Structure 1
Amino acid sequence: MRTAKICLMGAVAVAAVGLGATPAAAAPTDSTTVTFEILAGTLDIDAPTTADLGTGAPGGTITGSLGPVTVTDSRGATDASWVASVTASVFQTGGGTPPETVLPEEIDYWSGPATATTGTGTFTPGQATAGDAEPLSSVTPVVAFTHTGGTGGNTATWNPTLIVNVPLDSVAGVYTGTVTHSVA
C-alpha cells in the first residue's frame, strides 16, 4: 500500500507541474524598420570605336552607318532630362603635302529613330528622317538625341547614318577623322 501511495503522489506531483506551467504568449504582430539607399550614378554615352563608311567617287556621296550609340542615365534624378550632341574633326588623307581634307560640314548626320529605349520620359531623335540630316561641325554641336522628363534611370540607343558629300576636287585615298558624341 505504501508503494501505491508513493506512486500516486509522484503522479500527482507530475500533473501539478504540468498544470502550473503556462505556455509563452506570442505577440500578435511585430515590425522591423528597414532602410536601403539608391545610389546616384552617372550619365554616360558609348559609341563605336571605329566605323568604315565605304567608298565613293569625287562629286558623289558615301553613306554608311556609324553603329549603335547608347546613352545610359543612372543618375536617379527627379528630372532625368539630357541632350546628346555630336561634332566631327576634319577628315584627312596622307596623299599630299599638306594632307588632303574633307571638312566636317561636308558630312551630314542623321540620327534616325531610337532602336531601343528604357525608362520613362520622351525620347526624341535629332534627325528623325534622312531628309532631316544636318551637316556636322567641328565647332557647333549638332543635337543627336534628347530625353525630356521622366525620373530615375533610362537608356536610349540609335544607329546614326553619316552621308559624306565628297567634294569634286578630292584626291583618292583613305580619309580618317573623328566623330565625337557627348551627353549632358
Structure 2
Amino acid sequence: MALRICSAYRTMSTDAVLVIAGLIPVHLAAEKKRELYVKAEINDEVKKQQRQGTYQKWQEEWDTSDNRKLIHNVEDWTSRKHGDVDYYITQFLSGHGVFMDFLHRIKKIPNGNCMYCDEIDDAEHTLFCCPRWENGRSALLSKTSEIWGKVGAFMKEIIIEKVKDEKARNAEVS
C-alpha cells in the first residue's frame, strides 16, 4: 500500500517508502497497540504520550537510515496538512531516479557526477545547488503562496528533463 501511496518503485527501501507515504512502520504500530492494551486507563493524555513515544522511536530509526535525504523530521513530515506526493516528488525525497550518484551506486553509469556542472549529483544537489535549475529555484523562492504545488511541478520538470538529457547522453555514447 505504501508503494502505491507515493508511487515508488518496489526496489525502494521500506523505511523510505513508509516515511514518504506517512505510514507508521508495522512493528512500531503493533508496539503502540500492545502498550495501550496493557494500560489500565486510556485517555487522551495517554494516547498523546504514546503517539509521541512512537514518533520518537520512528525518528531514531530514520536518523540511522541511509535514505534520510530531504525529510529530516518524521513527525513534521507525516503530520503536514498539505502536499500530496507523486512519482516525481518521491524520486527527490528518496534520492532514487535520474540522479547520477544513485545511478552510479546501482552500477548503471561509470560515475556520479552531475551532467550539468560536474559536482556529485544527488537530490539535494539537483534541487538546491545545480546551476542548471537556478532560474526555477529563484522563481520558487520569490513566491510564498501555493508553494507546494510549485515545488512539486518543479521537481517533475527536473526529472523529466534529466531523463531526456540522460537518454540523449546515452545515445551519444552508443
Same fold (TM over 0.5): no
TM value normalised by structure 2 = 0.21
More strand by share: 1
